[in-house]
Amino acid sequence: MNRQNELNELFELLRFQSISTDSRYKQSMQDCADWLVAKFQRMGLTAEKHATPGHPVVLAKSERKPGRPTVLIYGHYDVQPVDPVEEWNSPPFEPTIVNDIIYARGSTDNKGQHFAHVLGVEETLKEYGDLPVNIIFLIEGEEEIGSPNLDPFLKSHAAELACDVVAVSDTGMVGRGMPTLTYGLRGIACLEFRLRGPKIDLHSGIYGGAVANPSMVAAQLTAGLHDMDARVTVEGFYDAVQPLQDWEREQWAKLPDGEADTLEQTGVPKLHGEAGYSALERRWARPTAEVNGIGGGYQGEGSKTVIGKSAFVKLSFRLVPDQKPTEILKLVRAHLEKHCPDTVRIEIEEGHHGPSYLMDPFSTQGKAAQAALQKAFNREPVLIREGGSIPIVQSFKDVLGVDTLLLGLALPDCQAHAPNENFPVENFDAGIRLNRLLLEELAKA
Amino acid sequence: MNRQNELNELFELLRFQSISTDSRYKQSMQDCADWLVAKFQRMGLTAEKHATPGHPVVLAKSERKPGRPTVLIYGHYDVQPVDPVEEWNSPPFEPTIVNDIIYARGSTDNKGQHFAHVLGVEETLKEYGDLPVNIIFLIEGEEEIGSPNLDPFLKSHAAELACDVVAVSDTGMVGRGMPTLTYGLRGIACLEFRLRGPKIDLHSGIYGGAVANPSMVAAQLTAGLHDMDARVTVEGFYDAVQPLQDWEREQWAKLPDGEADTLEQTGVPKLHGEAGYSALERRWARPTAEVNGIGGGYQGEGSKTVIGKSAFVKLSFRLVPDQKPTEILKLVRAHLEKHCPDTVRIEIEEGHHGPSYLMDPFSTQGKAAQAALQKAFNREPVLIREGGSIPIVQSFKDVLGVDTLLLGLALPDCQAHAPNENFPVENFDAGIRLNRLLLEELAKA
């Protein structure tokens, strides 16, 4: 299989509008899963689409041979919504290469990354007719909505999924050409609250001053989540937080992704955050309270002098070891209920959540991953944590009893979750090499 | 002319589908204006339809005789749309009387109210062949869309419209049979600010904790507009505010429109507002800071864990004497710029604004109005202010240099702007009597 064919196949995969959060794309999800099953079958793997109460899981396996380790490679074929679509320079579902960079929704997160592993296995099989390890591919369709059905799937297929280690490429590299092993992730807990005041939008001249404005109360409750030091005010929020280790702070202090880079990548005029920590420490190892969406009252152009009847706030909390997501949601709910005035009615809906993750990067498997990264990129790998959440990593630990090697291929400016998501062709190629080396190193370990 | 003929004529006027905001009714607007011109001419007045860039203005005048005051009566023949039309119990443009209440779009707002004045003048002319004052009727067709062409019309016809006082029946009565003189209105100043942070929506896991979230800063700036007593925190905001007079607080404390009614009308669980003032005082005579719209980040269903790149807040401030709208906008701008952190960029856009209005209800003309109301309803009139703004009242003050007597005939449950708009026949009759008495009282004043 030549390289152009590999890119063509990636493009086929990227063209599926597999937006898991939006029910209008339900059929696209099925079509995408079917396409993956067919691909795995062409490679000579046993592959099946498994129905779930939500979007299907794709499972593919090589013949399980004794005396060699079993490696489970996880990925997800679902993607984030594409809004605001007008800010894309090329259509999000029509992959476009500009200056050797692939632009498409899902190019980095996660189709480009997991498909590099698929092609690595295909190349090895074509070259040797066999693999150095037993391989299992588990590609789900609900990662962007919190993987609600994967945990039950792992549990009901635990014997079939038994393995020695999981490998995932869904995290970041600290910079171009800098191989990166991620040994920790933040957890997440989402919650939305809606405030209801008057039964209809009120004229702000006739009633203004005498009734509470749900949009104003929403602002007050949201603003009240932080103190002047940008610390979260929710009572008990920091009780379980483990402090950073000295060696971590020392390694990270040497990394190039400093404040200047973050300013450059994000375009913000100045960084911001919890007092007493560097920007990387805040992003990777400190918990947050973030408002992901707020809305209330008139949303159109110009002015409309109403007191809107309701307002909503979508919150998410990034968590670190040993904060428990359900415990944090309980604390947040109690905080909101305590501080919401009785001039409006509050409705709280808990959303998806998952725990943080931490593994030992100097374990046998951790060292094998470091060796594969070193060879694939010809450079000493960097050990980091990341600020995002991959709840499934904790599930692998809990249900299958194994660690997960996070071998990210995403660059800092990949625009995951944003317009113009992209993935360099060189990272796609490196991912294919990395897969081949990783399976070799793990077979030796 | 007998009473049945008067009702028949009102019904003819109500049947015109004079919806100013909807271009499909452009011809109905012309027909309605023509009908009014013909009516005025039959009464013996000089009347003319004046074209504007929008809908026409109808102007009618009695012969201007020296030695008597000139009274300008303002009204509007345009009406609100009728949606949702299926919630009407009778067709909106087919007037129907049930239990002595006229149901029709425009019955209260404003055809019923201004046509009572027209018929009052007609009755006086029929009885005496003359009027005690010089009369000018100014009936516009764009009140429901903000009177965009009335101010230029006033300016270009200022000499022709010269008068001693304006009378308008387009406000409310505090209750059935309770004659009401409105002597004050709040002003308004609108302002929108937008906060821009990152150049794109950021992944809240990757960057959360290290960059400011524009939605969070929007919430903080919005929440920061009030203190714990629900007073506005903008520096200097209250400096020009005239305190309520003792007699006002005493009168208003006796009014029936208390807290229970406001709870019932609005459906809020509890009232809210500035410490130290009753609900009516807060609505009529205290300034406010209101958020009319707020938005930032993800607006769809479910969750999207982003740090949105920008957020907006639409604010309006209801103003009372002697707050100057442009001065208030300057103070608010300074406040926002001072409190906005340098981790985001703020853009402030000032919107429409208009001053508050206050006339002395005990002036000669105010007393004449009170006397007319007292005789028309056989009950002591109530003196109130209102919380909304009627920009045209300020235009009469600015362009023509005269006060406006607001002699409302609308009941609290008149359903103006809503389905089943209605106007009691007794208020129509009272309006005709009120006009005759008002002209007599003003002639004596």
The pLDDT tens digits for B7-52 are: 999 999 999 999 999 999 999 999 999 999 999 999 999 999 999 9
Q: Given this model, what pLDDT does residue B349 score?
A: 97
| pLDDT band of A440, cuts 50, 70, 90 | very high
For chain B, percent of residues with pLDDT exceeding 70 = 99
Distance CA A31, CA A48 (A): 13
Confidence of residue A257 (pLDDT cuts 50, 70, 90): low
Contact flag B188-A305 (C-beta cutoff 8 Å): yes
- CA–CA distance, B21 with B148 (Å, rounded to integer): 12
Q: Measure in Å the smallest separation between the Cα of B193 and chain A Cα atoms.
A: 12
Mean pLDDT of A183-191: 95
Q: Which residue has the tokens 């749900």?
A: A214
Query: Among A395, A334, A417, which Cα is nearest to A187's?
Result: A395
Q: Which one of B213, B316, B389 has the shortest CB-CB distance to A291?
A: B213
In this structure, what are the phi and psi dihedrals at residue A124, rounded to the nearest 5 degrees? Answer: -60, -45
Q: Chain B: give the shortest CA distance to residue A415, in Å.
A: 8
Residue pLDDT, tens place only, B207-264: 999 999 999 999 999 999 999 999 999 999 999 999 999 999 999 998 876 688 889 8
Which pLDDT band, with edges at 50, 70 and 90, does A259 fall under?
confident
Interface touch B203/A418, C-beta < 8 Å: yes
Chain B residues near residue A145 by CB distance under 8 angstroms: 302-303
pLDDT of residue A304: 87
Q: Do A303 and B351 touch (CB under 8 A)?
A: yes
Which residues does chain A have within 8 Å of residue B186's beta carbon, measured at their own beta carbons?
A: 205
Tell me the C-alpha distance between B107 and B425, whole Å: 10
Q: What does the pLDDT read at residue B257?
A: 63
Q: What DSSP designation does A300 have?
A: S
Contact present, A307 and A324 (Cβ < 8 Å):
no
- Please report which residue ranges of B88-209 form alpha helices under DSSP H: 111-128, 150-156
Which residues on A lie below 8 Å from B270 (Cβ)?
212, 342-343
Both tokens of B54, joined, read 């929008």
Nearest to B282 among A81, A209, A386 (CB): A209
Residue B389 with chain A: CB contacts under 8 Å: 205
Which among A83, A267, A294 has CB closest to B294?
Answer: A294
Instruction: Say if the Cβ atoms of B205 and A274 lie within 8 Å.
Output: no
Predicted confidence at residue A390, as pLDDT, reads: 78
Which residues touch B70 (CB under 8 Å, ≥6 apart)? Answer: B64, B133, B134, B135, B136, B162, B163, B164
Q: What is the pLDDT of residue B1?
A: 52
**What is the value of pTM for the model shown?**
0.82
Closest by Cα among A286, A421, A263 to B198: A263
Q: What is the pLDDT along chain B (445 residues), one digit of tens a residue?
A: 578 999 999 999 999 999 999 999 999 999 999 999 999 999 999 999 999 999 999 999 999 999 999 999 999 999 999 988 999 999 999 999 999 999 999 999 999 999 999 999 999 999 999 999 999 999 999 999 889 999 999 999 999 999 999 999 999 999 999 999 999 999 999 999 999 999 999 999 989 999 999 999 999 999 999 999 999 999 999 999 999 999 999 999 988 766 888 898 899 999 999 999 999 999 999 999 999 999 999 999 998 999 999 999 999 999 999 999 999 999 999 999 999 999 999 999 999 898 999 999 999 999 999 999 999 999 999 999 999 988 889 899 999 999 999 999 999 889 998 899 999 999 999 999 999 999 999 999 8
| pLDDT for res A112 | 98
Cα dist from A156 to A74, A399, B184, whole Å: 17, 10, 72
The percentage of residues in chain A with a pLDDT greater than 70, rounded to a whole number, is 99
Residue A262 confidence (pLDDT): 85
How far is Cα A219 from Cα B293, in angstroms, rounded to an integer? 11
Round to whole Å and give the CA distance between B428 and B89.
Answer: 21
In this structure, which amino acid lies at residue B14?
A: L
Rounded Cα distance between B402 and B71, Å, is 10
Q: How far apart are CA A162 and CA A235, in angstroms?
A: 41
- B210–A303 CB contact, under 8 Å: no
State the Cα–Cα distance between residues B60 and B58, nearest whole angstrom.
Answer: 7
Q: Which of B233, B291, B342 to mutate to test the interface with A (most CBs of A within 10 A)?
A: B291
- The model's pLDDT over A238-256, given as tens digits with 9 standing for 90+, comes to 999 999 999 999 989 888 7
Q: What is the pLDDT of residue B260?
A: 84
In chain B, which residues have their Cβ closer than 8 Å to the Cβ of A172?
206
Chain B residue with minimum CA distance to A419: B200
> In the A/B pair of chains, how many CB contacts fall below 8 A?
309
All domains of chain A in start order, with CATH: 3-185+356-444 (3.40.630.10), 189-245+284-354 (3.30.70.360)
pLDDT at B69: 97
Across the interface, do A292 and B305 touch by the CB < 8 Å criterion? yes
Point out which residues pair with B386 in neighbouring strands. Answer: B185
B350 CB-side CA count, 13 A? 14
Cα A206 from Cα B320, distance rounded (Å): 13
User: Between B258 and A48, whose confidence is greater?
Assistant: A48
**DSSP string for A62-116:** ----TTS-EEEEEEE--B----SGGG-SS-TTS-EEETTEEESTTTTTTHHHHHH
Q: Report pLDDT for A412.
A: 84
Rounded distance, CA A258 to CA A88, Å? 28
CA–CA distance, B388 with B171 (Å, rounded to integer): 10
Q: Which residue of A has its CA nearest to B417?
A: A203
Which chain A residues are Cβ-neighbours of B188 within 8 angstroms?
Answer: 205, 305
pLDDT value at position B412? Answer: 86
The residues that bridge with B407 in the sheet, in sequence order, are: B181
